[in-house]
Structure 1
Amino acid sequence: MTFSLVARCAETGMFGIAIASSSPAVAARCAYTRAGVGAVASQNITDPRLGPMVLELMHCGMSAHRAIAELQNTAQHLAYRQVLAIDANGDTAIHSGPNSLGVWTDAAGRNVQAAGNLLANEDVPQAIVEGFEQVSGHLGDRLIAAMHSGLAAGGEAGPIHSAGLQICDTVPWPVADLRCDWTTQCPIETIASAWDVYKPQLDAYVQRALDPREAPSYGVPGDE
């Protein structure tokens, strides 16, 4: 009921994840990033504990591959889970349990891993990877392009209703965390529109947090 990718920008070191699902509020339950560490998607009959667990293992020095292996040795009910991770070197790893739903598969490229379940067809993750690799520029732009490619390849077997995009950089909070928790329209288009608005303001929001004395104006009525 989900398709997603985790990715790293080789130029900036940013990490990001984009995800979509027929279920509500998918990003709230499945998307995890940590600055300087990596990104994790935990999906398919979701256990929200798994994303933070894998990030903590990578924070303690494990590669994505070792962290997923440790997860497989310690976590319960992994036959029902799908977990994909990328680490600080851009290396990726994935666990897909045999009880993943419907058509499920994955694909990997340089600094990117994609996967899904209840997919329309097995080509969707590879289309996501290719969509990411064929676009240059900001990591957020590449994540959106990748999700558009996955959707064009068929996406989920049924209609999707929620989506999200999360990006971390050098500060200890996501510099972008955009969500569409439910819509009967296309949630990927909703997230893409939100990104178009948010992207030019991203650095300003970080600056306001770090030192509001140097922050730009808000550009809203009443702000002088």
Structure 2
Amino acid sequence: MTFSLLGRCARTGQIGAVVTTSAPCVGARVPHLAAGIGGVLTQHRTDPRLGPRGLALMRSGCTAAEAVAALAASTPDHGWRQFAALDASGGKAAFSGARNKPVVGVAEATDCIAIGNILAHDQVPPAMAQAFAADAGLTLDERLLQALEAGEEAGGEGRPLRSAALVVVAGASFPLMDLRIDAADRPLPALRALWEEYRPLAEDYLRRALDPDSLGP
């Protein structure tokens, strides 16, 4: 009952993720990102421990595919899990355990990978990947949000969505954006509204942390 996407901007090196589901607080469990390293999504009977483990594997030199293979091989309950990884060079891979509830889907496009489970139909991840890849000239955050909205427009999970999240990392040890709608009747419009409010401030907040003198007295 979750659909999500990892994406990368080849121009800026930024990495990001979007996710939504019919349960609350999805942003606290599914997306895990590290600037310059990559991202991991972990869902379906979600085990949040897989995110940091996947990032640690990529930090040690594993590709996304190697990290996913290692996670699948070392996770005793992997049959219940669905996860994906995207590395800093754009490599990507996903795993869906045999006990994932249908409809289960995975789709890739340039610099992105989308996954989902308990979906309305199998075209949801392809719609997300296609939307992300449609215009590489847009900012990464906008491409991610459009991909999430495309997944909902393609049918989503067939049940009312409850929470959503958008995360982008861009060089610092903390996210450039970490926006969450933890519980709402229409979380995707709420996430877009929050993004529209936060987006003009994101670079300023980054400068406040990294170079406060540049903002003047």
**TM-score, length-scaled by structure 2:** 0.97
Which residue of structure 2 aligns with residue 146 of structure 1? 147
Which residue of structure 1 aligns with residue 86 of structure 2? 86
Task: List per-residue Cα deviations over 1:121-163 (Å, max 9, x = no partner).
Answer: 1000000001101133110000011011111100112111000
Comparing 127-136 and 111-120, the one that deviates more = 127-136
Map 1:40-59 onto structure 2 (within 5 A): 40-59=40-59
Instruction: Please give the alpha-carbon distance, in whole angstroms, between the structure 1 residues aligned to 2:155 and 2:62.
Output: 35
Q: For residues 170 and 157 of structure 1, do their structure 2 counterparts lie closer, same or farther at Cα, with a shift above 3 Å needed? A: same
Instruction: Please give the alpha-carbon distance, in whole angstroms, between the structure 2 residues aligned to 1:182 and 1:216.
Output: 38
Find the residue that maps to 2:47 and give its secondary structure: coil
Map 1:138-177 onto structure 2 (within 5 A): 138-177=139-178
For the pair 1:24 / 2:24, whether they are aligned, the reply is yes
Task: List per-residue Cα deviations over 1:60-112 (Å, max 9, x = no partner).
Answer: 10000001111111112010000011001101000101111231111001100
For the pair 1:11 / 2:8, whether they are aligned, the reply is no
For the pair 1:199 / 2:208, whether they are aligned, the reply is no
Deviation at 1:214, TM superposition (A): 2.0
Which residue of structure 1 aligns with residue 130 of structure 2? 130
Question: Identity percentage over the alignment?
Answer: 39
Paired residue type of 1:205:
Y
CA RMSD of aligned residues (A): 1.1
Paired residue type of 2:140:
L
Paired residue type of 1:178:
L
Find the residue that maps to 1:174 and give its secondary structure: coil
Q: For residues 181 and 213 of structure 1, do their structure 2 counterparts lie closer, same or farther at Cα, with a shift above 3 Å needed? A: same
Deviation at 1:215, TM superposition (A): 2.6
Tell me, yes or no, if the aligned pair for 1:6 and 1:112 is still in contact at 8 Å: yes
Task: List per-residue Cα deviations over 1:13-53 (Å, max 9, x = no partner).
Answer: 00000000001100101111100000111011100100110
Which residue of structure 1 aligns with residue 38 of structure 2? 38
Deviation at 1:216, TM superposition (A): 6.8
Instruction: Please give the alpha-carbon distance, in whole angstroms, between the structure 2 residues aligned to 1:81 and 1:120.
Output: 19
Paired residue type of 2:189:
E
Find the residue that maps to 1:148 and give its secondary structure: helix
Paired residue type of 1:118:
I
Number of equivalent positions: 216
Paired residue type of 2:47:
D
Tell me, yes or no, if the aligned pair for 1:204 and 1:216 is still in contact at 8 Å: no
Deviation at 1:200, TM superposition (A): 1.1
Which residue of structure 2 aligns with residue 102 of structure 1? 102
Q: For residues 213 and 105 of structure 1, do their structure 2 counterparts lie closer, same or farther at Cα, with a shift above 3 Å needed? A: same
Task: List per-residue Cα deviations over 1:175-210 (Å, max 9, x = no partner).
Answer: 1000000112x2111111111111111110000011
